């Protein structure tokens, strides 16, 4: 770090009970775009601060530790005595490690790293003790009102909504609850906070009055994107934040070269990666650790979770979870690829087909109404309609191996453990209970070999 660059540490407040959520789950762990809202706030703070952020935890702190792990350092607020008291708990952890302290809230998941960095930059160019983030909007969302002596001048006070006069309630500049403090001033000023008369709590907003009374100027950076100021206190706020964040994600993909035909019915988690010139059709949900390559057509009506998809695939109206799909594969409609399904290049999976923990080799086809479980299928194999692997004996799962070029007739039942040799065939309705030699035709129930295939006598 350059010698003239101030040391910055980010502090996130995550100790509140979130009673208005009416939930057993801590408020900051409610999911947004596939991950706890806290992790969105944490990622932005880390990007702005270049150091491990510190979390102030209290209510259900162990759940928060379990969700966040080593992505943050922790301090505890054992009694919830207000935001000022929460920041004071971090004094011992940060006092000698930072010249600037960025304070924000874990229930502000839409604040972007660039916004936080602008706030830090504003404070480095400001002689006063801190710079705060504000927003101008008609919907106050319960935020405190900003009083200035003159338009664009220093902040004179923050008036909480419950204490504001009718004239003050008409003010549209609001406190977002995010600040960048000069660290030496912050630790000293916290000792000057007094508990509120109503709740006996110590509020960070009272630091404005402490600064103004000392003749120091408090600067404000006005947020130009009001959506970033959506804080989450209720389930309604959660839904509003979800909608804003999801469109932000969709917009990012579209700007990167992905076609999304109907953003209103498309849901993509923040963790998803999608390649250039892929088309996402309506009513599609893509979740978790999913990676999708280039020039695919996804949907309509697909659900994809924790899967890897290559290039030039067509996935139509299917449910895909924990699967790996390589290149030039087409799936569906109405197929179900379950955990461990692996489709290699040029595989075709038709309607109402299901795979679980099974590999389909290059060029193989499974037309429709079939099920493969714990199966390894070679190259250029045809799986006829109605085929199933009987892979579970009530205690253990058993494997089925179908070698290259085999042809499985319609309505075949393959009773595992079983091996069907290269180029072998099963007749329609066969119940195969024993291994089938290469290039052999078996028919009946139980299946029996009737002849070697032509050219393989």
- Name the residues annotated as catalytic: 368
DSSP structure string for 267-300:
EE-TT-EE-TT-EE-SSEEEESS-EE-SS-EE-S
For residues 339 and 323, the answer to whether their CB atoms sit within 8 Å is: yes
Integer Cα distance of 224 and 235 in angstroms: 25
Neighbours of 5 (CB within 10 A): 10
Among 111, 136, 140, 114, smallest CA distance to 32 is for 111
Among 30, 223, 34, smallest CA distance to 111 is for 223
Question: What residues pair up with 305 in beta bridges, in sequence order?
Answer: 287, 321
Strand 54-57 relative to strand 388-390, pairing: unpaired
For residues 130 and 84, the answer to whether their CB atoms sit within 8 Å is: no
CA angle 238, 243, 244 (to 5 degrees): 100
């Amino acid at each position: 770090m350059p010698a003239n660059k101030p040391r910055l540490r980010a502090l996130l407040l995550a100790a509140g009970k979130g009673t208005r959520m009416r939930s057993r789950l801590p408020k900051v762990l409610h999911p947004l775009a596939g991950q706890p809202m806290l992790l969105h706030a944490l990622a932005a703070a880390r990007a702005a601060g270049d150091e491990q952020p510190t979390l102030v935890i209290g209510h259900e702190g162990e759940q928060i530790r379990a969700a966040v792990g080593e992505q943050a350092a922790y301090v505890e607020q054992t009694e919830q005595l207000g935001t000022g008291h929460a920041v004071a708990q971090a004094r011992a952890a940060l006092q000698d490690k930072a010249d600037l302290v960025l304070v924000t809230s874990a229930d502000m998941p839409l604040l972007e790293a660039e916004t936080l960095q602008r706030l830090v930059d504003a404070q480095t160019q400001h002689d006063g003790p801190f710079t705060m983030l504000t927003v101008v909007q008609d919907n106050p969302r319960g935020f405190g009102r900003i009083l200035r002596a003159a338009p664009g001048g220093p902040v004179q006070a923050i008036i909480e909504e419950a204490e504001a006069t009718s004239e003050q309630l008409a003010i549209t500049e609001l406190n977002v609850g995010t600040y960048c403090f000069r660290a030496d001033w912050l630790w000293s000023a916290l000792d000057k906070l007094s508990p509120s008369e109503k709740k006996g709590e110590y509020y960070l907003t009272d630091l404005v009055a402490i600064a103004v009374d000392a003749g120091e100027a408090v600067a404000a950076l006005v947020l130009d994107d009001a959506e970033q100021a959506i804080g989450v206190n209720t389930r309604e706020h959660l839904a509003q934040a979800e909608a804003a964040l999801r469109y932000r994600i969709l917009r990012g993909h579209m700007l990167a070269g992905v076609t999304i035909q109907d953003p209103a019915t498309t849901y993509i988690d923040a963790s998803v990666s999608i390649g250039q010139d892929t088309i996402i059709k309506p009513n599609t949900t893509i979740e978790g650790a999913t990676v999708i390559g280039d020039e695919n057509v996804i949907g309509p009506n697909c659900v994809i979770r924790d899967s890897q998809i290559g290039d030039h695939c067509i996935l139509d109206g299917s449910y895909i979870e924990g699967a790996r799909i390589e290149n030039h594969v087409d799936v569906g409609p109405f197929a179900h690829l379950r955990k461990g399904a692996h489709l290699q290049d040029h595989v075709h999976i038709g309607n109402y087909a299901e795979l679980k923990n099974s590999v389909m080799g290059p060029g193989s086809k499974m037309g429709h109404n079939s099920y493969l479980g714990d199966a390894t299928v070679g190259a250029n194999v045809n799986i006829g309609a109605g085929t199933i692997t009987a892979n579970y004996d009530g205690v253990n799962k058993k494997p089925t191996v179908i070698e290259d070029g085999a042809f499985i007739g319609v309505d075949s039942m393959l009773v595992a453990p079983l091996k069907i040799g290269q180029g072998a065939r099963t007749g329609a309705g066969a119940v195969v209970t024993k291994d089938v030699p290469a290039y052999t035709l078996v028919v009946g129930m139980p299946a029996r070999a009737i002849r070697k295939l032509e050219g393989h006598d």
